[in-house]
A and B are shown apart, each in its own frame.
Chain A
Amino acid sequence: MSRTITVTPLTRIEGHARITLTVDDAGQLSHARFHVEDFRGFEAFCEGRLFSEMGAITARICGICPVSHQLAAARCGDKLLALEVPAAAQRLRLLVNLAQICQSHALSFFHLSSPDWLLGWQSDPARRNLFGLIAADPELARAGIGLRRFGQELIERLAGRRLHARWLVPGGVLSALSSDDRLAILAQLPAARAAAALALDRFVPLLDGVLSKELVSFGTFESLFMALVHPDGRWSCLGGSLRVVDSSGVVVADGLLEDNYANFLAELSLGWTYLKSPYYRPWGHPAGIYRVGPLARLNVCSTIGTPHADRELQRFRTCHGSAASGGRIVTASFAYHHARLVEIVAVLEAIEALLQEPAALEGPLQAHGPLAVREAVGVSEAPRGTLFHHYRVDRDGVLEHVNLLIATGQNNLAMNRTIEQIARTWIPWPLQPGQLIDEPLLNRLEAGIRCFDPCLSCSTHALGQMPLRVELRTSNGQLLAQGVRS
């Protein structure tokens, strides 16, 4: 008899979700699905507001990556007003995004994911958390707390608040970084660098050892990867253009402009999740599955452009690069965790370089001008991946149309592939009637999702476009009735 195994709620992710495994009559896995069950509808209720309010509104979608939304909204505003952002403001914007990536990656790696492998999949789930980590490795736990605090404090010193600051605005930023704040952050950098180095020392050897099977079975598959890069191919988290590479390392598309995103990205809505499933339009669905975020950024870039980070990038590619790409492309989703650590090294170096040139952080901070065009797209690299804001406004700047294309959504197809691969690899098929799946196996399924560090708060939207299927089934799976809204 067919049956469905449900893992709910998923823990140690941002938001609420469910995984279902559907088992056929022979006890074999039919399919695995990642369901996002919250509906937020942010795009619809942003319509009718002024575009200049979008930074404040979208930053309140959640407290995880408000900076990313504010950056995308500000860049949209720059274009609507046809403003040239002053050089100092561009650097300060970059600085705040680097800080955001640091604090967000620290939360994901140390607090949410590291308990799985440092305490073990078989460990008591009640202790498999930050407090368990403290007991097992307090030095690493302090490193994680310290890195997150470093990023948060830099955001606060720049923007005045850690959350929901009104600092990033169309045309630039509202205030400069004081000399005292700059020196205070510089003084904290050695400890932050040491924390990142400690995490790499602890984690990377595990990937050749106790985690080697996870590395090849937690979402290791061919796909496209997309991220921003600078014109010379360097890693970027703000500015530049979009590049798409495939799993063999071939650059499929380069120099893509966010303004044309609808030409190369399509958004698929599925009936069993509120999370949309974007794909690379020229390749269609499902061939156009792509991944964004730390793993994609490291695959897409030629170099990072700073010495320590480039050494770590080389080690990352040497350790995990696929044979098919000559070691250039990493297809393992489990390597997202390693990629986050490499990016922490990168952002710390970039922060230091910016802070060591105080004169470049001074000067005009905001440009002003009237509404110049009626439609624009802003993009930034959020910690979880590429974030698009697309606005169309009337002549008074009131929003008539909003589309938010969120990193977590862009990884949705990949997350579903990941849990299916984990289920096929780790669960002993065929399942016998009544056979249960033990908790460590269920946690592995959850951990597959955590590789992507999904944030579900802002990625579930598209009011009015969501196909909805309601099914009424008996306990043995017989369909009694269904209603479909397309």
Chain B
Amino acid sequence: MQAALVIGIGNPLRSDDGAGALLAEQAAVITAADAQGPVAVRSVQQLTPELAAELAALEAVLFIDAWEAPEGLEPALIPLRPQPARLQSHRLEPCALLGLAQALYGRAPRAHLLRVPAQAFGHGISLSSSLQQALPKARVLLKQWLRELHA
């Protein structure tokens, strides 16, 4: 059984929206370097229902997502709980995906969202200066989540 999964959410071709994938890559580097337990890493452009089966087999999951936020806010690590939601197409919010896992497979993992404040979502592969300033704090929170995972 896979113990934990880091899921970076977003489109790397949409400027700051690529922060999720970037931090997920860094999580992979950190876990490989520290030889910490079985943490898998994945990047997705959006959360889709079939991820529910994967989540149901996990102990813990960390979603990382850019968030269009007012200026001045900092990255935050937010605990999540499963919630029911409407599915009108094929994408889900993290809490709804957890709700799907709970409803279909009887369990959902312990879950957190690393929410990174972002301003620029236009076409491009570079990150805005404000997001770059937020990255060190986001990395601290990422490492904190990984540490607590193995505490």
Contact = CB atoms under 8 A, between A and B. Distances in A.
Interface of A: 11-14, 60, 63-64, 103, 107, 111-112, 126, 129-131, 134-135, 138, 141-142, 145-146, 148-149, 152, 162-163
B87 A111 contact: yes
Contacts of B49: 111, 130, 145, 148
Contacts of A142: 53, 104-105
The 8 closest A-B pairs by CB, nearest first: A149-B50, A130-B87, A134-B103, A148-B50, A11-B88, A129-B87, A131-B84, A129-B86
A261 to B, nearest CB: 30
Contacts of A14: 89-90
Nearest to B101: A145
Contact of B104 (A63, A112, A138, A148): A138
Nearest to B86: A129
A459 to B, nearest CB: 16
Query: In this complex, which of B45, B85, B100, B103 has the most chain A Cβ atoms within 10 angstroms of its Cβ?
Result: B103
A141 B56 CA distance: 15
B26 interface: no
B103 A131 contact: yes
Nearest to B13: A60
B24 to A, nearest CB: 14
Contact of A111 (B53, B90, B105): B90
Interface in B18-42: none
Contact of A63 (B46, B86, B88, B100): B46
Range, interface on chain B = 20 to 34
Contact of A131 (B45, B54, B86, B89): B86
Interface of B: 13, 44-46, 48-50, 52-54, 84-90, 99-100, 103-105
Contact of A152 (B50, B52, B85, B99): B50
25 contacts: A12-B89, A13-B89, A64-B90, A107-B90, A111-B49, A129-B86, A129-B87, A130-B49, A130-B87, A131-B85, A131-B86, A131-B103, A134-B100, A134-B104, A138-B104, A141-B104, A142-B104, A145-B50, A145-B104, A148-B48, A148-B50, A149-B54, A152-B48, A152-B50, A162-B44
Secondary structure at chain A's binding surface: helix, strand, loop or mixed? helix
B48 to A, nearest CB: 8
Contacts of B100: 130-131, 134
Nearest to A12: B88
A292 B79 CA distance: 47
Contacts of B89: 12-14, 112
Given A134-B103, A135-B103, A145 B52 contact: yes
A163 B88 CA distance: 20
A152 B53 CA distance: 13
Given A13-B89, A107-B90, A138-B104, 13 more contacts: A14-B90, A111-B87, A111-B90, A129-B86, A129-B88, A131-B87, A131-B99, A134-B104, A142-B105, A152-B48, A152-B50, A162-B44, A163-B44
Nearest to A153: B50
Nearest to B102: A134
Contacts of A11: 88
Contacts of A152: 48, 50
